[in-house]
Structure 1
Amino acid sequence: MKILRSILLGLVIPIIIIGVWEFFAIQANNPSLLPRVGDVISHLVHPFTDLLNTGSFIHHITISASRVILGFILAAIIGIPLGLLVGKYLLFHKIFSPIIEILRPLCPIAWIPFAMAIFKTYTIAEVFGFRYTTTIFGHIQLGMLFVIFYGGFFPIFLNTVHGVKSVKHLYIESALLLGADQNRMFRKVIFPSSLPAILTGLRVGLGISWMVIIAAEMLPGSDAGIGYLIMFSYELAEMDILIASMILIGAVGALLSYGVKVIADRTSVWQAKER
């Protein structure tokens, strides 16, 4: 009963928005400005249909998600180990803190023109010598990868540092009394205790990476991706496709965030039970 009530309460605002949207769409009677709800839904329920001769929703989402996942993995591979070192050792903290504090306030989107100038339109496939390829790597530009990495790195890194510094001294002292060396201390005490904060950083970093790629795909040089589809739809005044793309972006972003949350909840049960 409680679950049903929660679902119904969660549907209240979406139903109101849809109702207001449909009302004004009927009044405007201009699909190029505000399409009917049914027109947008018809695109969403046919995700494999070709759109404007650019590919289907599945095609564009797959390319966008591939870019995000690869950049996000790179951010995690570098951000987590570096965060553990900076949080644990004062020397690493003194070395990396100044440059981190300088770069951290810069918005990832501000790096897009710089990335375009440096990396141009080179793709991962071209780096490995494949100039013409139909694989997904032919759509992953190095500039986009850099911007996604930058957007995802700082939440992961900073939350990892915070997690390490938040480890209770009681845990560390108990491990030392039991004869733990530095290696076992990291593996058995510091990393597990920092894991909730690290997973929070991964969740935030993934969300930022998803937002950044949409902005990056709207710029010149992109030939695929959901952000590219939004701009192309705007240029052709196909507002039904544009709004459907926006809804899809929100849905995929929520799904990715929920996936990380499920992992975080299952691996951090002990924290909720801790007194």
Structure 2
Amino acid sequence: MKKLLLFAVGAMLVLGSCVSKKEYAALQAKQKETQDLLNTATVKLNSCLTDKAAALARLEELRKSNQDLIQSSKDLTMLTQQGATNLEKSLESLREKDLKISRLQDALSKKDSVTLALVTSLKKEVGLDDPDIEINVEKGVVFISLSDKVLFKTGSYNLSSRANEILGKVATVINGKPDFEAMVEGHTDNVPYKSGVLLDNWDLSVKRSTAVVRKLQELGVKPAQLIAAGRGEHIPLVDNDTAENRATNRRTKILVLPKIDQFYTMIEEELETLSAEGN
């Protein structure tokens, strides 16, 4: 561009001597006009180049932003799919747990039905007319509570004649439930006791319990179903502050309950059934 200007100036100098002043002035005006046009074109060119660079930069930003959006969309899709999968797994787990709970409730309901039938059977056999005999359910366990005067003489562990009649009826019910156990608990009042080889109320309560267990065995109950236990004076029903209350605390309690291992077996069978159905 500079060479072109120098050439034009040189040509005008050379031709200056060959043209008139008027023509020379016209050439100068034309040269200025050309220079102005050139400057304007240069300014516009630089502006276009700047705009082009800005447009390219903006285009690159848009391209990168578009890629980020595409990646975010992919990530969101993956997260949504994973969330749906996790939700489905959670719902399936809840359904399985609900089914297990339902099955366990069914097993407990079966146990409750057996308990109710057992209570009905005992009440039918033993009867409810005697205030010294209580038949009830406590924490899901059937029990018969017998006053000591029904079974024993005061301070003795020898069974009375009436005990044979009552325990015979109890034995009939237990014999009809070979899958159940009978735990006999002896309870005393808090009056200190010592007689012969018996040292205290612990000994007396256990001795009374074993006397009942032996009688039930004589009446046909399998020994494997029987448990003898003595609680002494330590679980009173009422305070031992009167003769009447002490008489209430002197009792023999027979608990008729399903064998624990068989109950757990029943639960395990339900769980195995669930597992097989799940597979």
Q: Kindly indicate whether structure 1 or structure 2 has the higher relative contact order, using CA contacts under 8 Å at least 6 residues apart.
A: 1
Give the TM bin, normalised by the shorter chain. under 0.3
TM-score normalised per structure 1: 0.27
Larger relative strand fraction: 2
Larger radius of gyration: 2
TM-score normalised per structure 2: 0.27
